[in-house]
């Protein structure tokens, strides 16, 4: 096969770090890259990667000109096993794609950088990637499987021995991660908790993970990710619990990240972990400020071959075609990631505002980041300061504006105020994905725990983040919509 300039190719350890630092230089308002060792005062992995110590690079992507406001954080890990080499390449090409398209004004992925902060470690096990081996190896020759190194359903001396696992912990501890994808390779699967030996049952003669408190959400988002990553004439990525689709294991990142903060069942979380690793370990540091950690996390097995041939990567131009199916491994996973990032929290988006007359404007909007819509309300502030509510029903019942779905645009005509400095306030409020809240027999018996589900639950404090307030400003012939976080008008609102 002839490899053309701009085609996807395997990037080695040095090329990945180089490409990330070039992107950060080219798009300083969109991409930041730092050494995780400096950021969180972590040691380096053993040995070296070429002429220097191996560096785990922490990358964050967002439109940093927009204040954090409602931005939801998502974490993507490229690899925990060094020889599973597709994930790191997917994440680097995803970073490049996001920055380039956003910078070029392509609005189809506009929301991913306005509404989200994407944190990624393309090479979470940088040493393993450099040397193409599964484990993280210590200077004493000890080989640690990073995905058995977390304090959940694990022996007390077998956790946080690796630098990579400590790096993952620090990312979760220091951020508020709503959702995470952790890339592996060797089979083709989109899987979710449970995947540990303390939550296991037999169904139809097979071992499966029992129902987690967030199982409805996990299963429904997995279906979306499966559809988005579907390549014509290829098998779809299989979906299900990790125990069912991969196998159960002790000390895996996924069960720890999702469950360790709330699951007090026997053999669940461990807070007595004292690693035998030669690396200094401050126990207090690793078992404080962690109760907020409970992301909607998926383990993605990217491809049957841990190092698939580049002719099956797909072509970058395929991503420009909005209605096309992905044409190879890299594109199927970029589409999967984009869809996952968007689904973390529903949000309204104003499509257009037009002046109908001197006294009225028309607002067209959509609800994004969800699967189904149960109710949409448009609230306009009247002269007494109270809000009048107008219920809007989807023209195609039940559908949010999602890539897998027909799009529903809502319209509302707003009377323009001539008092209050020509400013008219309105809000958009909605109920989405109420089926995420449905449970049968969760284990442990608790309500849904993830912020992804709680942001959809009208009884949760997180729900209010999805209700957006706007101000419509008229200046002569000109109309503008500002969201409530716009600093220039915040004071008098």
Candidate segments 76-84, 167-175, 288-296, 350-358, binder of Zn ion by CB under 5 A? 76-84
* Least gap, CB of 187 to Zn ion (angstroms): 9
Closer Cβ to Zn ion, 116 or 184, answer by number: 184
* Least gap, CB of 307 to Zn ion (angstroms): 13
Number of shown-chain residues binding Zn ion (CB under 5 A): 3
Candidate segments 51-59, 180-188, 260-268, 401-409, binder of Zn ion by CB under 5 A? 180-188
Candidate segments 65-73, 138-146, 177-185, 359-367, binder of Zn ion by CB under 5 A? 177-185
Distances (CA, A) of 423 to 191, 206, 380, 384, 491: 48, 62, 12, 14, 13
Candidate segments 15-23, 74-82, 329-337, 396-404, binder of Zn ion by CB under 5 A? 74-82
Peptide bond connecting 300 to the previous residue in cis, omega within 30 degrees of 0: no
Closer Cβ to Zn ion, 34 or 83, answer by number: 83
Name the 3-class secondary structure at 187. coil
Candidate segments 184-192, 315-323, 349-357, 469-477, binder of Zn ion by CB under 5 A? 184-192
Closer Cβ to Zn ion, 39 or 238, answer by number: 238
* Least gap, CB of 185 to Zn ion (angstroms): 6
DSSP strand pairing (72-77 vs 116-121): parallel
Closer Cβ to Zn ion, 77 or 401, answer by number: 77
Residue with tokens 């819509």: 373
Closer Cβ to Zn ion, 84 or 433, answer by number: 84
Q: How far apart are CA 72 and CA 177, in angstroms?
A: 7
Candidate segments 25-33, 179-187, 409-417, 444-452, binder of Zn ion by CB under 5 A? 179-187
Which of 114, 184, 250, 333 is close enough to bind Zn ion by CB under 5 A? Answer: 184
| Per-residue tokens: 25 | 């230089």
Closer Cβ to Zn ion, 148 or 392, answer by number: 148
Closer Cβ to Zn ion, 183 or 194, answer by number: 183
* Least gap, CB of 84 to Zn ion (angstroms): 5
CB-facing half-sphere around the CA of 89: CA atoms within 13 A: 26
* 209 phi and psi angles, rounded to 5 deg: -75, 145
* Least gap, CB of 159 to Zn ion (angstroms): 18
* Least gap, CB of 143 to Zn ion (angstroms): 14
Query: If 0-12 CB within 10 Å is exposed, 13-18 middle and 19+ buried, where does residue 50 land?
Result: exposed
Name the 3-class secondary structure at 436. helix
Closer Cβ to Zn ion, 112 or 124, answer by number: 124
Backbone conformation region of residue 399, classed left if phi is above 0, alpha if psi is from -120 to 50, else beta: beta
| Per-residue tokens: 70 | 């409602």
Candidate segments 20-28, 83-91, 306-314, 415-423, binder of Zn ion by CB under 5 A? 83-91
Residues 339-358 that bind Zn ion (CB under 5 A): none
Q: How far apart are CA 454 and CA 92, in angstroms?
A: 31
Contact 195, 245 (CB under 8 A): no
Select the residue whose beta carbon is closest to Zn ion and give its number: 184
Contact 217, 165 (CB under 8 A): no
Query: If 0-12 CB within 10 Å is exposed, 13-18 middle and 19+ buried, where does residue 264 land?
Result: exposed
Which of 32, 37, 81, 250 is close enough to bind Zn ion by CB under 5 A? Answer: 81
* Least gap, CB of 447 to Zn ion (angstroms): 31
* Least gap, CB of 484 to Zn ion (angstroms): 44
Closer Cβ to Zn ion, 144 or 345, answer by number: 144
Candidate segments 58-66, 183-191, 408-416, 479-487, binder of Zn ion by CB under 5 A? 183-191
* Least gap, CB of 125 to Zn ion (angstroms): 10
Q: Which of 118, 131, 120 is nearest to 20 (CA)?
A: 120
Closer Cβ to Zn ion, 55 or 80, answer by number: 80
Q: How far apart are CA 75 and CA 331, in angstroms?
A: 19
Closer Cβ to Zn ion, 258 or 410, answer by number: 258
Query: For residue 407, how many other CB atoms are within 10 A of its CB?
Result: 14
Q: Which of 420, 279, 459, 438 is nearest to 372 (CA)?
A: 438
User: Which helix or strand (DSSP H or E) is residue 207 part of?
Assistant: strand 206-209
* Least gap, CB of 128 to Zn ion (angstroms): 10
Binding site for Zn ion (CB under 5 A): 81, 84, 184
């Amino acid at each position: 096969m002839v490899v053309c300039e701009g085609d996807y190719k395997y990037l080695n350890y040095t090329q990945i770090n180089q490409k990330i630092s070039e992107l950060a230089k080219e798009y300083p308002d969109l991409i930041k890259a730092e050494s995780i060792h400096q950021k969180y005062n972590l040691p380096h992995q053993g040995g070296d990667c070429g002429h220097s110590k191996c560096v785990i690079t922490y990358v964050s992507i967002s439109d940093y000109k927009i204040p954090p406001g409602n931005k939801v954080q998502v974490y993507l890990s490229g690899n925990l096993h060094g020889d599973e080499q597709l994930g790191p390449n997917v994440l680097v090409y995803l970073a490049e794609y996001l920055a380039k398209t956003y910078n070029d004004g392509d609005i189809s992925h506009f929301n991913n950088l306005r509404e989200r902060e994407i944190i990624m470690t393309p090479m979470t096990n940088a040493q393993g990637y450099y040397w193409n081996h599964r484990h993280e190896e210590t200077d004493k020759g000890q080989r640690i499987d990073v995905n058995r190194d977390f304090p959940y359903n694990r022996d007390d001396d077998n956790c946080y021995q690796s630098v990579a696992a400590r790096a993952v912990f620090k990312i979760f501890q220091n951020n508020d991660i709503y959702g995470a994808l952790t890339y592996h390779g060797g089979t083709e699967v989109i899987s979710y908790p449970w995947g540990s030996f303390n939550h296991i049952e037999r169904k139809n003669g097979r071992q499966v993970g029992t129902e987690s408190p967030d199982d409805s959400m996990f299963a429904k988002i997995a279906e979306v990710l499966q559809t988005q990553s579907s390549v014509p004439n290829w098998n779809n990525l299989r979906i299900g619990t990790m125990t069912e689709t991969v196998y159960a294991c002790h000390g895996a990142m996924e069960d720890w990240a999702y469950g360790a903060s709330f699951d007090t069942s026997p053999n669940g979380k461990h807070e007595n972990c004292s690693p035998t690793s030669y690396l200094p370990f401050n126990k207090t540091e690793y078992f404080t400020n962690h109760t907020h950690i409970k992301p909607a996390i998926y383990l993605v097995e990217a491809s049957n071959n841990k190092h698939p041939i580049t002719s099956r990567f797909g072509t970058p131009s395929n991503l420009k075609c909005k209605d096309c199916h992905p044409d190879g491994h890299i594109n199927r996973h970029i589409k999967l990631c984009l869809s996952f990032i968007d689904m973390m929290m529903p949000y309204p988006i104003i499509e257009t505002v037009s002046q109908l007359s001197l006294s009225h404007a028309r607002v067209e909007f959509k609800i994004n980041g969800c699967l189904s819509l149960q109710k949409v309300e448009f609230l306009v502030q009247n002269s007494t300061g109270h809000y009048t509510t107008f219920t809007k029903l989807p023209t195609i019942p039940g559908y949010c504006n999602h890539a897998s779905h027909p799009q529903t645009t809502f319209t509302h005509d707003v009377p323009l105020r001539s008092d209050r400095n020509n400013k008219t306030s309105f809000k958009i409020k909605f109920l989405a994905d109420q089926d995420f809240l449905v449970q049968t027999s969760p284990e442990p018996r608790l309500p849904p725990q993830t912020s992804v589900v709680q942001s959809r639950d009208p009884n949760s404090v997180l729900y209010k983040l999805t209700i957006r307030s706007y101000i419509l400003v008229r200046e002569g012939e000109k109309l503008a919509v500002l969201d409530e976080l716009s600093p220039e008008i915040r004071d008098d609102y």
